[in-house]
Amino acid sequence: SPKIGQKAYAIGDPKGLERSLSDGIVSRIDGSGLIQFTATASFGSSGGPLLNEDGQVIGIVQGGNPGTNLNFAIPAAAINNLPGRRGLVAQQRQQIGHYTLARNLQFRQGNYQKMLTILNEGIRRYPNNAVLYLNRGTARSSLRDYQGAKSDYSRSIELNPTSLAYSNRAQVYTILKQQQPALEDFTAAITLNQGWGGSNIGAAFYDRGELQVKLGNTKSAISDFKQAAKFYQQIGNSERYRTALDRITLISAP
């Protein structure tokens, strides 16, 4: 249940900005349980969740007055007690999204253990969700639990193979000095290339190039570094572009 003074995070879509997040505190709880909070809320935030630091939904935002602290939320307990099970799939999707947003918040703050705790709870509730396993793998990797991270990325791939899951597992294999599986995973990530931006696929080519160097595959490494340079140039990342070109020059030298 919410407590006065605790951190609160309002999530919504104000003015068309998808998945906007603002933070504040719970400032007041009236006799009926209505929550007043200081996080910025607008008409686009109405109906969105109000989260605590653990990623738990403590209320449903009812909008607010821009520029003031008069922002309110209905307590989650009141919503949970309503009858009916309409939109269960949509509700589950939304709750999984809340776990992901809470994960992002803790990751930005470097709270990896808290992030792991949040995702453990998410996986307990939704044991077959690929995104939650992917995110928990990131938490475990950040805590240097590389075997645990590898296990989570593998489970995520079993449930829904994505470029990001393969790339993340490849990085773990690299840390564990398992070069051949890492090479195979980077290749899978590049082959799938599902909705990646130039930065991510550029990094995958670059990292695979580094593995090719270690395996003595100079021609393949040069090809990968060229691809990495191309994608970095496309997105205007001049620093990474020059780094990729420098690697080509270095390994091409007699």
Give 165-219 as a DSSP string.
Answer: HHHHHHHHHHHTT-HHHHHHHHHHHHHH--S--HHHHHHHHHHHHHHHHHTT-HH
pLDDT > 70: percent of the chain: 78
**CA 147 to the chain's CA centroid:** 20
pLDDT for the residue numbered 242: 97
pLDDT for the residue numbered 82: 44
State how far the Cα of 150 lies from the Cα of 160, in Å rounded to an integer: 15
Closest alpha carbon to 186 in 210, 202, 209, 170: 170
State how far the Cα of 203 lies from the Cα of 227, in Å rounded to an integer: 10
In sequence order, what are the residues at sequence separation of 6 or more whose Cβ sits closer than 8 angstroms to the Cβ of residue 208? 170, 183, 186, 187, 190, 224
pLDDT tier at 111, thresholds 50, 70, 90 = confident
Helix (H, G, I), strand (E, B) or coil at 120: helix
pTM beyond 0.75: no
Of residues 139 and 11, more confidently modeled: 139
Whether 159 shows a pLDDT value over 70: the answer reads yes
Residue type, 253: A
Residue 92 tokens read as 């589950």
Q: Each residue of 70-99: pLDDT tens digit?
A: 677 777 765 455 444 445 555 666 677 767
Q: Left, alpha or beta for 12 (phi > 0: left; psi -120 to 50: alpha)?
A: beta
Q: Each residue of 18-44: pLDDT tens digit?
A: 456 677 888 888 766 778 888 766 544
Total count of residues recorded for the chain? 254
pLDDT for the residue numbered 211: 96
- Residue 69 is given by DSSP the state S
First to last CA, the chain: 68
